[in-house]
Structure 1
Amino acid sequence: MTAAENPAKPGQARKHVVFVTWKAGNAPAFEAAARLGHRVTLIRSLRMEKSQNIDFDATPYGRFVDAVHVLEDATDLDALRTRVRAVHAAHPVDGFVATVDALVVPVARIAEELGVPFTRARAAEDAKQKDRCRRVLAAAGLDTTAHAVVPGAEEAAAFAARHGYPVVVKPARGSGSEGAHVLADEAELRAVLAGAADRPAYAAGILVEEYLQGRFVSAEIGLSAGRFLRLAVSERSTWHRHEALETGTTIPAALDAADHDRVMEFAEAVVGALGLGLGIFHVEVMLGADGTPRLIECNPRLMGSCLPNLFQLAGGGDIFELLVRIHLDEPVDRPPSSFARYATVRWFGAADAVPRPARAPDTTWAAAEYGPHLHSFTVRFPEGEVLAPCRGNLGNFGEVQVVHPDHDTSIRLAEDIVRRTAEQLGFEVTR
Structure 2
Amino acid sequence: MTTTADRPRAFILTGAFWVICRSPRYLTELARRDLSILVVTPEGFRDRAEAVRAQEDGPASLIHDVAYVSGSLDMEASFNSGVVAAVAAWRERYRIEGAYAVGETLVEPTGIIADALGLPFPGLRATRVCRSKYLQRWYLHRHSPASLIVPPSERDGLDPGALDYPAVLKPATRHSSSGVVSADEPADIARELAAYPDHETLLIEQKVTGPEYSVETLSQGGRRVFASVTAKTTNDTRSRAFVELSHTVGGADPANGALLDANADVLDRLGFEDGITHSEWRLDPTGTPRLMEIAARTPGDGLLPLYELATGRPLEDQIIRIALGEPAEYPRPRRVARQVYLEHPHGVLEDVRLDWPGVTASWIGETDLWPRTAPGAADDPPTLRAVFVHREKGATLGPLHSSDDRAVAFLIDAPDTDGLDEIEARVRSAIDIVVS
TM-score of the aligned structures, taking structure 2 as reference length:
0.80
For residue 61 of structure 1, what is the aligned residue in structure 2? 59
2, 9, 29: which one aligns with 1:32: 29
Kindly indicate whether the alpha-carbon contact (under 8 Å) linking 1:33 and 1:321 is maintained by their aligned counterparts in 2. no
Residue deviations 1:76-110, cap 9 Å, x none? 43332232223222221111011211111111112
Offset at residue 322 of structure 1 (A): 0.6
Q: What one-letter code is carried by the residue in structure 1 that aligns with 2:88? A: R
Offset at residue 389 of structure 1 (A): 2.3
Offset at residue 172 of structure 1 (A): 1.3
Q: Does 1:279 align with 2:237?
A: no
> How is 1:14-413 mapped onto 2 (pairs within 5 angstroms)?
16-21=10-15, 22=17, 23=19, 24-35=21-32, 37-45=33-41, 47-49=43-45, 56-57=52-53, 58=55, 60-62=58-60, 64-65=62-63, 67-71=64-68, 73=70, 76-138=79-141, 141-143=142-144, 145-149=146-150, 151=152, 152=155, 155=158, 157-160=160-163, 163=164, 165-193=165-193, 195-198=194-197, 203-239=199-235, 240-242=237-239, 244-256=242-254, 259-288=255-284, 290-315=286-311, 317-332=313-328, 334=329, 337-348=331-342, 350=344, 354-357=346-349, 359-363=350-354, 365=356, 367=358, 373-382=383-392, 386-413=396-423
SS of the residue 1:323 aligns to: helix
**d(CA) in 2 for partners of 1:175 and 1:54?**
24
> How many residue pairs end up in the alignment?
395
Judged with a 3 Å threshold, the aligned counterparts in structure 2 of structure 1 residues 180 and 274 are, in CA distance, closer, same or farther, namely same
Judged with a 3 Å threshold, the aligned counterparts in structure 2 of structure 1 residues 374 and 53 are, in CA distance, closer, same or farther, namely farther
Judged with a 3 Å threshold, the aligned counterparts in structure 2 of structure 1 residues 185 and 158 are, in CA distance, closer, same or farther, namely closer
Q: What one-letter code is carried by the residue in structure 2 that aligns with 1:114? A: L
Q: Does 1:425 align with 2:434?
A: yes
The structure whose residues are more often helix, as a share, is 1
Kindly indicate whether the alpha-carbon contact (under 8 Å) linking 1:224 and 1:278 is maintained by their aligned counterparts in 2. yes
Unpaired runs of 5+ residues, structure 2, are: 1-7, 72-77, 362-380
Judged with a 3 Å threshold, the aligned counterparts in structure 2 of structure 1 residues 48 and 232 are, in CA distance, closer, same or farther, namely farther
Kindly indicate whether the alpha-carbon contact (under 8 Å) linking 1:225 and 1:331 is maintained by their aligned counterparts in 2. no
Kindly indicate whether the alpha-carbon contact (under 8 Å) linking 1:236 and 1:246 is maintained by their aligned counterparts in 2. yes
Identity of aligned residues (%): 22
Q: What one-letter code is carried by the residue in structure 2 that aligns with 1:220? A: E
Residue deviations 1:338-367, cap 9 Å, x none? 22211111124546xx4313x322335474
Alpha-carbon RMSD across the aligned residues, in angstroms, is 3.1
Residue deviations 1:225-263, cap 9 Å, x none? 12112332101111132251111201024314xx32221
For residue 3 of structure 2, what is the aligned residue in structure 1? none
